[in-house]
Each structure stands twice: as structure tokens, then as C-alpha cells.
Amino acid sequence: MASHRRPKQPTRARVTTLTALAAAAVALASQNAQAAPAKPSKDEVKSKVDGLYDQAEKATEKFNGAREQQRKLEKEIGQLQDKVARGQAELNEMRDQMGSMASAQYRNGGVDSSIQLLLSDNPDEYLAKASVLDQLSAKQVESVHKIQEKQRALAQERQEAAGKLKDLADTRKELGEKKAEIQAKLAEAQKLLNSLTAEERQRLNDDDNTRASRGGGGGGRGGSLDPNVKGSGHAGEALAYAKTKLGSAYISGYEGPNAFDCSGLTQWAYKQAGVGISRTTYTQVNDGTRIGRSQLQPGDLVFFYSDLHHVGLYAGNNTVLHASNPRGGVKYENMDYMPFQFGVRVA
């Protein structure tokens, strides 16, 4: 007769081990799920990259402003230092003259004047010399006053130079901080772009290339690119020069001739046309007369975003020619893709 064995019951230790293994498997699966989040879509990457470029451009314009302030301070400090050096040389010369007068007075004034008069063979000649001595004393007093005034002026100039040197140090610190901020934003944007496949990046570029010729955005004004649009006067000349830089790279802080940021391009273009405008978007808004959208003519400056951190040149037909961002460089773009604020007609 066959015997039947009862199945062996798992021991408590075995149950504990199996439970621990199961928990570990669940934890590992959870960690893997957290370590491999869903890959962002092309549109999500574009949105994030555009946001990072926008933040980098805001920092760029502040960087440009700080650099302009640095240049101004360096020039003023140089002029002050030259002025102090000239003043010190003048002061040294005045002191030398003062010493010469004091020596002459000592040599000639050691004997009481009444005794000198009695011993003099020619009283008239002595009286003439005494008059000279009196005049010398008056000059000496005048020289003392001049030296004191020069010393006060030099002390004030040195204090002014010291203040500007402190401002320069603060400005250089700000420059370093803004540069680091820009580089961090751009590096993050590039990392996102690198996460796309070659096909996705190509589709992204194709989408960008349609912006100059398609309508869209909130305004719905449409717009079509006409590269033959010409302006008049200096604005027209500035636009013509800017067209020669189509395809150039966008690099933060650059102002030509081969790479630009947005305000660097507009400044460069107007400079070629013989008109000097300031360096940043925040100051270029005051380089002419503000005008509305319906008044725009080719070559006018056009500003975007509520804080006015982006600028380009109006190219006609609701199109802007601008240094767009590190991915797009200098190109045409439909104005409806950015929040337009106003235009500026440079005098």
C-alpha cells in the first residue's frame, strides 16, 4: 500500500526570507520607476527650452547693463586718477616754491629791520629791499592758501575715486553672477535638447522655420516674409545691414560683427547706419520716439515682453528680424509669436 507524505510546511525563517525578498523586489521596481521618468515630448522640451532661453535673455540684458556700467566707471576712474596725478604734481611744485620763499625770507630776515636801516650805507636801497620782503611775505601767505585749497581738492578727488572703485568692484561681482546664471540656464536648455532624437530635433527646427511666413499667436495678424522690404532713412539702412547678418549665431553679451544677442544686433545695425544707440533693451526704449503697432515702418525698433527684455528690427508685414536665441540665431520671425509691447523710431 502506497504511503502519502504530507507536504512540508514552510518554516518561520523561510517565510520571513520570502517576505523580505518580495519587499525588496517591490522596492527595486519602485526605484527603477522613479529613476526612469517618462521622456518629455518634443513640445514639452520646446516649451521648457524657450522658457530657459527667456530667463537667460533677461539675465543677459542685465549683464549687458552691468558691463556698460563697468566701462563707464573704468573711464571715469581713469580720468580721476589722471586728474589726481596732475594735481599732486602741481601741489609738489607749489610746495617747492613755498620752500624757496621761506629760505629767502630766513636768509634776509635774520636781523631786526631797525638795526638793518641804521647799518645800511644806502637807506633808500634798504627801504626798497624791505618793500620786496613785505611783498614776498604776502606771496607766501597766498601760496599757503593755494596749497590748502589744492590739498582739499585732491582729498575730495581721491575720495570720489575710492567710491567709484568700490562701485566697480560691486559691478564686477554682479557681472560674474549674471554670467554664471546665463551659463546655467543655457546648459540646462542644451541638456533638454540633447534628450530629443535626431528626428525630433529636425521637426523642431522645421517648426521654427515656418514662423516667419505663417500667421499665428494671440494677435492672429498673420504676416508673410518679404525679404525685399526696404525702409527709408537711417532705419532702412539699419535693417539692410541687419539682413547681412541673417544666420549669424546668438551669443549672450556679443555685439558683432559675427555673433550677437538681441540688443547687440540692433545697436550694431544702427551703428553701421551712422546712428549711435545705447547697449541694452532697457535703455534702447529711450533712444527714440515710442510708436504703436500700426505706425511701424521697416527698421523701427520693436520691443517684446512686459519687462522689455527683447528687441528686434521691424522687417515689414508683421515680421521682425532679430537675434532670437542660441538655437535660432539671427533670423526673421512672425511678431505674433512674442508679446509685442511697442515700437521706437530712432531719430
Helix, strand, or coil (residue 319): strand
Cell 542660441, residue?
326
Q: How far apart are CA 277 and CA 45, in angstroms?
A: 36
Confirm if 263 and 284 have CB atoms less than 8 A apart.
Answer: yes
C-beta separation of 236 from 298 below 8 A: yes
For 52-151, strand residue ranges (E) read: none
pLDDT at 101: 60
pLDDT at 215: 42
Nearest to 313 by CA among 289, 288, 294, 296: 296
Q: In a 3-state reduction of DSSP, which class is residue 72?
A: helix
Measured between alpha carbons, how far is 285 from 87 in angstroms, rounded to an integer? 41
pLDDT at 329: 94
Residues of 135-146 as b/e, b for ≥16 C-beta within 10 angstroms? ebeeeeeebeee
pLDDT at 217: 38
Q: What pLDDT score was predicted for residue 208?
A: 73
pLDDT of 77 reads 87
C-alpha angle 84-164-252 in degrees, rounded to nearest 5: 130
State the CB neighbour count (10 A cutoff) for residue 224.
13
Which residue ranges form the domains of the chain, and what is each CATH number? 42-194 (1.10.287), 212-346 (3.90.1720.10)
Take residue 66 and report the three cell numbers written for it: 552691468
Q: Which residue has the cell 567709484?
A: 164
Question: At residue 332, what are phi and psi to the nearest 5 degrees?
Answer: -85, 150
pLDDT per residue of the chain (347 residues) written in tens, 0 to 9:
555 555 555 555 554 555 555 555 555 555 554 555 677 787 888 889 889 988 999 999 999 988 898 988 888 889 888 888 888 888 788 777 766 665 665 555 554 454 454 445 565 665 666 565 555 566 666 766 777 787 888 888 888 888 988 888 988 888 899 889 999 999 999 898 888 888 888 888 777 776 655 543 334 454 556 667 788 899 999 999 999 999 999 999 999 999 999 999 999 999 999 999 999 999 999 999 999 999 999 999 999 999 999 999 999 999 999 999 999 999 999 999 899 999 999 97
Whether 277 and 346 have beta carbons less than 8 Å apart is answered as yes
- Report how far residue 185's alpha carbon sits from residue 65's, in angstroms, rounded to the nearest whole number: 19
Between the two ends of the chain, the Cα-to-Cα distance in Å is: 116
For residues 236 and 299, the answer to whether their CB atoms sit within 8 Å is yes
Query: Please, are residues 284 and 343 in contact by the beta-carbon 8 Å criterion?
Result: no
Rounded-to-integer distance, Cα 259 and Cα 16, Å = 67
**CA angle at residue 56 from 250 to 279, to 5 degrees?**
65
